[in-house]
Each structure stands twice: as structure tokens, then as C-alpha cells.
């Protein structure tokens, strides 16, 4: 475990607690229990729970589950409203000020982690008074009234009259472009918007070195409680399936049907705001034939998969963007529901009460409850993009995706086909009396110009090591 110095805050008395973790692990339950114990109030940090109209689909706690604890920023937006990150941050900070003024403790609970980051750390959103932030849909705005930097603030580079958003990002912010898949329209649009609104490359904002001392950027004096799950692939699947089945029993199909009837049934037309909530597309077959039990089971399976994918993205964000920074994060094992009190509630209460006390001994607190931060610990590359020409120019982002790809059946078949072609070419040239043969490189000339350069080592099975093309990026 890492040991860390306590971060300094502009005002030590203004303290806050954050509860993060994957979907279905009990964040809402813990938030209510802590608020009851430490005189706190809950602030929602889940993007979908901001909206009213879909309490089951967005898993909003019922009034009974809230146990009388005030919950802020929950069910307040209309269906067609769209908040930016800055909108959320400004409203949440105002709520926190009000809670502090009444002598209570803000407890921020939710799984939208870029909301959490916007509250804890300062960023480009603070530096640019005219910057409205990134829309939840991450689409470029056409509102000419919004303040923009002058064209002179952007790099002047000649370009063709028509270029794709990805090509434009490569031209203006090649570092960020090298971190994205060419087909990731949402993130490409987000990075272009940051560039247009701030005059600064998005890469300057996203680059945070592991172990970087970022206490100067801290906005709050806080502690983060992170609900974790051991044996994720098995235990978590059971938890998520139980959660989905409960949502179905509580009326999710009926809620979705009524919502679609009121606001329009063409889901392809609704890819913004609350229409992004997990469930709409997966429920389509059930709504068409509600009496078919096989379709219902298939829907539960699809919903469980979607929730698992979301949890995986949350976990990746926590590991790569929160743990490497200097706000203390305490992991609490929420794997076993029967062990909730011993493994989650009791340590969470002890951490919270000691942290919130006036004469807190932070060294003793961290000795008793070690933090999980990855300060000064290398983390796996999740950003560099690699392209496999053996597989038709497929682009993979991050070491994890790349390693999974090269182990896959499709890649291995293509690799064997490549080797066979190479052997055939060698035999053909040998019959013609050619003494030597140049290797057939999997790297094409065009690949060296697209920003994802693959360098194939010479003299080692023609650029292939242990059955895997040896590609390295130069970005």
C-alpha cells in the first residue's frame, strides 16, 4: 500500500466525503448510512440520476431508501435538458457551500467519475471563464454567442478544404489524436471542443503523470471511499444480474414503455441526455412481445452485459485517473453482502469520523486504514494507439486491448496466413534462383504517415517475435 502525506486544503474545516465504485456495489446505501451518522447530506454525482422521469432505469433511491436524508441534484432535469460538466460542477459546489453553511457534511455519491473529478480538482474549466465545459453528449456546439478564442490562438496549419474530425485533431493536437481510436467520434469531438473553447490542446489537460504532486490543484479537503468487489468476473456478474432482475420486477419495462410513448419511440433519434440510460435498446424486444419469456431472459442477459461493461469502464477510470493522484482513497470490500457491516460500514464510519474531527491524527488514520493510491507506482499504458496491418489496419488503444488482440484467434489466423505467404514467396524466388529474399513487412507506407507508426525489428523472423508482430509507436 502507498503511504501519503495528507493533502492541504485552502480551508481545513470545509471537508467532504466522496463515495465511488462500480454500479451495484452499494454506494447509495453507504451514502445514507454515513449521512445519518455524521450529520451529512448527499449530493448526487450520477449523470443519469440528474433526470426526472426514469427513477427505475436510472436507479434513483426511493424516498424510503433515503431514510429522511436530503439528496441534492437528483431528478431535477427535464428530458431534453443537457448539462455540461461545468454546469454540474457549479451547481454542486453551490450546494456544498450551503451544506457547509448549515454546519453539515457534503457526501458526494455516484458513478459519473468526471463529475467527481471536476469537484475535487481544478482544471481547464476553471481557467477559461467563457468555457462552458463538455456536453454530456460531447457534441460540438454551433452556438456563435459563446465566447471563443480568436483564430490566431489556434495553430495555423494548411489543410485540405474537407477533413474528418480525426484528421483535424491530428493536425491540431497530434498527441491527443494518438491516444484515440479514429472511429471514437465522441472523444474526438470532445477534444476538438476543448481546443476550440480554450485555445489549448486537450492533451495538456489529460496528461497527469503518475505520482504527480497535484495538491496545488485541489479544490476540496476530502477523503474518497471506494467500494470494491473481489473476483469481479463471477461475484460481480451475480450482483448485476440480481440488480437487473429487481429492476425488471419493479416495473422497468412499463416505465420505459410509458416514457417512450410520451417522448417518442425512435430511439435512434434520442442519443442524448437521459435517453443514454442503460435499458432502452435492450428492452425493445420485450416491449414488442411482453409475454415471451425467452425474450425477457435475453433482455436480462443484455442488460447485465451492459452494466458489466459500464462497471469495467468505471474501474478503469478509477485506476488510471483517481488512484494515481494524491487525494487519499480508502478501498472497502463490498463483495459479500453478509459482510457489509464489518467490511464496509464499520471502517467507513471510523475513517469518516476521524477525518471530520477537528484534531484528526492523519498519520494514525492512514496507519489504521491504509490508502489504495498508486502514487509512484507504474500503471499500464491505456492511451497509446497501435495499428495492426496484419489484421487489415485495425487500431487498438492501450496495452490491454493490444495484448488481448494479439492473443485472439482472428489475429493468430491472419498471422499464420502472413507467414505462409512469406514462405511461398521465398520458395518462388528460390526456384527462380534468387539467392535472398526481402521480408514481407506487415507495415504499409501509409501507416507511417497516419500518426501510428509501427517499427518492425529486422533480422528476427522478419519482424515477428513469438508469434506476435513487434510494433512500437513513436508517439
**Higher confidence at residue 317 or residue 381?**
317
| Arithmetic mean of pLDDT over the chain | 76
Average confidence (pLDDT) over 449-456: 36
pLDDT, tens digit, 9 for 90 and up, residues 147-185: 333 333 444 444 445 788 888 898 888 888 887 888 888
- Whether domain 1-121+214-379 has CATH 3.40.50.1820: the reply is no
Please tell me the predicted confidence (pLDDT) of residue 377: 42
Tell me the mean pLDDT in the region 308-333.
89
How are beta strands 385-388 and 394-397 bridged, if at all? antiparallel
Give the pLDDT confidence score for residue 12 in this predicted structure.
59
Higher per-residue confidence, 121 vs 441: 121
The reported pTM is: 0.65
pLDDT (mean) for 87-105: 96
Q: What is the domain partition of the chain in residue ranges?
A: 1-121+214-379, 385-469
What local confidence, expressed as pLDDT, does residue 465 receive?
40
What pLDDT does residue 270 have? 52
C-alpha grid cell for residue 464?
A: 515477428
Question: By C-alpha distance, which of 442, 450, 455 is closest to 390?
Answer: 442
Q: Measured between alpha carbons, how far is 96 from 104 in angstroms, rounded to an integer?
A: 9
pLDDT-derived band at 339, boundaries 50, 70, 90: very high
Higher per-residue pLDDT: 68 or 373: 68
pLDDT of residue 141: 31
Lookup: cell for 445: 507506407
Confidence of residue 18 (pLDDT cuts 50, 70, 90): very high
- Mind listing the pLDDT tens digit for each residue in 241-295? 888 889 889 988 888 888 877 776 555 555 555 666 656 666 766 776 776 777 7
Pick the more confident residue, 179 or 391: 391
Identify the pLDDT of residue 63.
95
- The widest CA-to-CA distance across the chain, in whole angstroms, is 90
The segment with the largest mean pLDDT, out of 63-77, 217-231, 443-457, is 63-77
Amino acid at each position: 500500500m502507498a503511504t501519503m502525506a495528507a493533502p492541504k486544503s485552502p480551508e481545513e474545516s470545509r471537508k467532504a466525503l466522496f463515495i465511488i465504485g462500480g454500479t451495484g456495489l452499494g454506494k447509495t446505501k453507504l451514502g445514507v448510512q454515513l449521512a445519518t451518522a455524521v450529520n451529512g447530506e448527499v449530493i448526487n454525482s450520477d449523470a443519469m440520476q440528474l433526470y426526472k422521469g426514469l427513477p427505475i432505469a436510472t436507479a434513483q433511491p426511493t424516498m424510503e431508501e433515503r431514510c429522511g436524508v436530503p439528496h441534492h441534484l437528483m431528478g431535477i432535469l427535464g428530458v431534453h435538458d443537457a448539462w455540461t460538466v461545468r454546469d454540474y460542477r457549479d451547481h454542486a459546489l453551490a450546494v456544498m457551500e450551503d451544506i457547509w453553511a448549515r454546519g453539515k457534511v457534503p457526501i458526494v455519491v455516484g458513478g459519473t467519475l468526471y463529475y467527481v473529478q471536476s469537484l475535487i480538482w481544478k482544471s481547464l474549466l476553471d481557467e477559461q471563464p467563457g468555457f462552458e465545459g463538455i456536453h454530456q453528449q460531447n457534441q460540438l456546439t454551433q452556438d456563435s454567442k459563446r465566447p471563443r478564442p480568436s483564430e490566431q490562438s489556434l495553430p495555423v496549419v494548411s489543410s485540405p478544404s474537407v477533413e474528418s474530425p480525426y484528421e483535424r485533431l491530428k493536425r491540431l493536437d497530434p498527441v491527443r489524436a494518438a491516444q484515440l481510436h479514429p472511429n471514437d467520434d465522441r472523444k474526438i469531438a470532445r477534444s476538438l471542443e476543448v481546443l476550440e473553447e480554450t485555445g489549448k490542446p486537450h492533451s495538456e489537460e489529460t496528461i497527469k503523470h503518475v505520482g504527480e504532486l497535484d495538491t496545488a490543484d485541489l479544490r476540496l479537503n476530502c477523503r474518497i471511499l471506494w467500494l470494491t468487489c473481489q473476483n469481479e468476473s463471477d461475484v460481480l456478474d451475480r450482483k448485476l444480474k440480481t440488480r437487473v432482475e429487481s429492476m425488471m420486477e419493479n416495473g422497468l419495462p412499463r416505465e420505459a414503455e410509458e416514457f417512450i410513448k410520451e417522448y417518442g419511440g425512435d430511439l435512434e433519434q434520442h442519443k442524448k441526455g437521459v435517453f443514454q440510460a442503460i435499458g432502452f435498446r435492450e428492452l425493445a424486444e420485450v416491449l414488442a412481445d411482453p409475454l415471451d419469456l425467452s425474450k425477457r431472459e435475453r433482455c436480462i442477459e443484455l442488460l447485465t452485459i451492459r452494466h458489466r461493461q459500464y462497471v469495467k469502464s468505471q474501474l478503469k477510470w478509477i485506476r488510471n485517473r483517481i488512484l494515481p493522484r494524491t487525494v487519499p482513497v480508502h478501498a472497502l470490500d463490498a463483495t459479500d453482502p453478509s459482510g457489509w457491516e464489518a467490511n464496509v460500514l464499520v471502517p467507513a464510519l471510523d475513517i469518516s469520523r476521524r477525518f471530520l474531527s477537528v484534531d484528526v491524527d492523519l498519520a494514525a488514520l492512514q496507519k489504521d486504514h491504509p490508502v489504495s493510491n498508486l502514487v509512484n507506482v507504474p500503471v499500464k499504458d491505456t492511451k497509446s494507439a497501435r495499428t495492426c496491418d496484419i489484421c487489415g489496419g485495425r487500431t487498438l488503444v492501450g496495452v490491454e486491448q493490444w495484448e488481448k488482440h494479439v492473443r485472439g484467434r482472428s489475429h493468430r489466423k491472419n498471422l499464420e496466413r502472413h507467414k505462409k505467404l512469406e514462405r511461398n514467396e521465398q520458395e518462388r524466388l528460390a526456384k527462380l534462383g534468387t539467392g535472398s529474399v526481402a521480408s514481407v513487412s506487415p507495415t504499409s507506407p501509409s501507416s507511417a504517415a497516419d500518426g501510428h507508426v509501427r517499427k518492425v525489428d529486422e533480422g528476427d523472423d522478419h519482424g515477428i517475435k513469438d508469434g506476435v508482430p513487434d510494433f512500437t509507436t513513436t508517439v
